[in-house]
Amino acid sequence: MPKKILGRWLPAYSKIKNSLSIDWMGPLFADPNLFHINRASVSSSFFIGIFVAFLPLPGQTVIVAILALIFNSNLPIAIILIWISNPLTIAPILFFTYSVGVLLLGIEFINFTVEFSWSWIITQGKLILMPLVFGSIITGIFFGGISYVTVNQLWRWKVHRNWIARQKQRKDL
């Protein structure tokens, strides 16, 4: 079952609960559903993690933690998935989401070179920000939705396959 496979890789709830590193957060992370592995929590954590990974915002871990609390998703899986946008992949992701935003908004594509000055950030930021944010949200919803449906269907398929195998095994006895 997918639950058994994921259970091997993810830390146990008791180990996380007794960790000193999250002790200061108090009852926020005392909810065992944040670490529960089932089809609904895993598929929603895939949506949340991938959606937030496409957002051009700092503090993605905090955003994922808040969304996991709100939607009772598996927190470790959602946090692992935001690592899609790491220092090696963030530039291509942002360029892709900017391109999607330009295409969907019908704005002219701006060829720009990055210059690290406040004047460049203010002038170019106004032109780049709207298509970047819009493209990031749309792309995050799209790929998050695809991952949600894919994980949900793969989970159902695996459970169904295991069920058929157990029935066949019982029949052979």
pLDDT tens readout for residues 119-172: 877 888 888 899 999 999 999 999 999 999 999 999 999 999 999 999 988 888
69 touches 107 (CB < 8 A) = no
pTM, full prediction:
0.80
Per residue in 44-99, pLDDT (tens digit) is 999 999 999 999 999 999 999 899 989 989 988 999 999 999 889 998 999 999 99
